[in-house]
Amino acid sequence: MKSNLITKITLCGLLLNGFYASAQKNNLQVDAAKTVTKIQPTMYGVFFEDINFAADGGLYAEMIKNRSFEFLFPMMGWNEPNSDRHKLNQQSGIANVVQYSKQGTNHNYCRVTLNDASGYQLVNEGFRGMGIKKDLKYNLTLKASKISGNISKIMFQFIDKEGKALGETSVVPTSNDWTDYAAQLTSTATEAKAKLKITFEGNGVIDLDNISLFPEDTWAGRKNGLRKDLVQLLYDLKPGFLRFPGGCIVEGRTLAERYQWKKSIGKVEDRETAVNRWNMEFAHRPAPDYFQSFGLGFFEYFQLSEDIGASPLPILSCGMACQFNTGQLVPMDQIDPYVQDALDLIEFANGDQTTAWGKVRADMGHPKPFNLKFIGVGNEQWGPDYIERFKVFQKAIKSKYPNITIVSGTGPFPDGDFFDYGMAALKKLNAEIVDEHYYKDPAWFRKNVTRYDNYDRKGPKIFAGEYAAQSVAIASPDNKNNWECAFSEAAFMTGMERNAEVVHLTSYAPLLAHVEGWQWTPDMIWFNNLQSYGTPNYYVQKLFSNNKGTDLIAITKDGKAVTGQNDLFASAVKDVNSKEVILKIVNTAATAQNVSIDVKGAKLDTKGTAIILKGDGINDENSFDTPTKISPKESEFKLNGNKIQYDFPAYSVTVLKIKMK
């Protein structure tokens, strides 16, 4: 008995010694009195690109694929189960696409010949199916023109894979002229893989176009709007900016395929469908049915920015196609239309209703300006050709709109010839904000946490515009959104936050991915037709963005920044609005670490809130089955005066918040 007691006392002593040794090893000091620099409101934002079916089939809530028969193969997405193209189809009918014009934006419509309507069906498959929810309403619209015969009704049904009806409605076509029709379906069941079946009463010939279907329950209740759950995830990030319409999609594989913002505004039905540059980019993930309807266009991007409280950051073509593809250049003596597009966009966003483009915005339903402050010239172009073109944009924009901040770029890599050349050239041009991209392995993010420590404080500010830890390799289909990637990004983010004097904007990329329609991994938010979830990387971004504070303050160990000593990484801010000191501590060690933190220069409350993000192992992931497996958990901790003694779990990201008296 005595022997057991001695053993227990000895063990307790060893544990206590270990505890205090750990605390002594990890003594941190915080100076809450002195502001190092202000944290920009744009510090943490979101980068949107139409990759992985992020727009059509994702954020843009349209459920019909190829609604106006404008895909390269005009019947793609549509199926006629009882028809045969090589027969007369006397017991059913047949649909043919009529190309009525090569001019304008809408070139085709669908002509349905009904020989026996009782045997004919026209079915749309949706985007890998249609997600419908029991008792919810769905708004259907279409254009139709009766050509001949006695067609008296068009019926619409949700069907499941067995063909069972899950809700139905109908319209009565009344005119030989093109006429708009609308109806509403109510789903009788929840189904992730529904389709829309169209049938008819009466025989004859009828023309159809712009067949569209949206959930009634969209973000902000906006008719034909955005998918509610996905926007909610963005809203919850409290992003400082929204970059759009993307990265490589801005450039296009060729100049002809570049994103042209003027084609993405105005009436939705008048916007010209275009191929998505990601449809055949990767041999391992072909998506030949990936097109852009531009229903989610520049007006909607500006509107979304406003909705989620983010500053809009549009990126425009600089006259260079993607250098990973053709690298086509517009000649310098033909670049004026590209520059004019940038000037017109600023007028569209900020001009009053007496201006040409301001009036277009107002006529679309937004009389007030969008308060655009930033514009990006080119995505991740590099080399002398980019600098030559950037100079022209810079001169033109600054001459007319001196208060607009221009974002430039150094190319797709964080170092090397292109990067060094671009940064040196842009510094000479007094560039305001330079966009840097890095897709690297998790260890790179931990090793490069001091990247910005020695950047010139008087040089260009930095936009970390695209970054994500790659668990396998860049563009590998096997990359995972695992916990090691996420906490390694968090470590790197403490370094960006510590250098907020230089780093003004940051965003993870890509943002969204359809689980059956993706081309690139990893991605911040995954979704299917009914559900969505944030990855561990999402929750890291949310922790930092929701707790960005207003003022950077110093947190040090032995007078030095906490940049990986004993596998600890840290940054600290205070929020003058909420009167809080906020500490971000990342423990990348395989064991818990006790840390002693001494906060000077502020009177603190006797207790604080800890928000902890951790996984059971470095390969942990969230999923549709366990969407919040790795997500923030809150608890309370006590202070001893101005001292905090805290155990940081293994592989964890922790935010400590303490009210100032």
Q: Which two tokens stand for residue 578?
A: 């909420």
State residue 536 phi and psi, 5-degree precision.
-55, -35
Cα separation of 374 and 403, whole Å? 9
Residues assigned a catalytic role? 380
Q: Beta strand 503-508 with 291-292: parallel, antiparallel or unpaired?
A: unpaired
Query: To which residue do tokens 């890509």 refer?
Result: 510
Bond into 522 cis (ω within 30) = yes
Bond into 245 cis (ω within 30) = yes
Q: In Å, what is the CA distance from 137 to each residue of 185, 188, 216, 628?
A: 6, 10, 6, 29
Is residue 184 within 8 Å of residue 168, measured between CB atoms? no
Cα separation of 95 and 113, whole Å? 6
Output the CA torsion 436→252→59→286 (10° steps): -110
Residue 268 DSSP symbol: G
Residue 410 DSSP symbol: -
With H, G, I as helix, E, B as strand and everything else as coil, classify residue 188.
coil
**DSSP 3-state percent helix, strand, coil across the chain (nearest 5):** 25, 35, 45
* C-alpha 36 chain-centroid distance: 31
State residue 45 phi and psi, 5-degree precision.
-135, -165
* DSSP per position, 515-558: TTT-SSS--SEEE-SS-EEE-HHHHHHHHHHHT--SEEEEEEET
State residue 81 phi and psi, 5-degree precision.
-65, -25
Q: In Å, what is the CA distance from 191 to each residue of 162, 226, 419?
A: 12, 20, 49
Q: In Å, what is the CA distance from 27 to each residue of 94, 538, 559?
A: 77, 30, 11
* DSSP per position, 55-98: TBTTTB----TTTTS-SSSTTTTEE-TT--TTS--TTSEEEEEE
Cα separation of 366 and 348, whole Å? 11
Is residue 177 within 8 Å of residue 145, measured between CB atoms? yes
Q: In Å, what is the CA distance from 508 to each residue of 44, 184, 397, 455?
A: 9, 38, 28, 21
Cα separation of 206 and 181, whole Å? 14
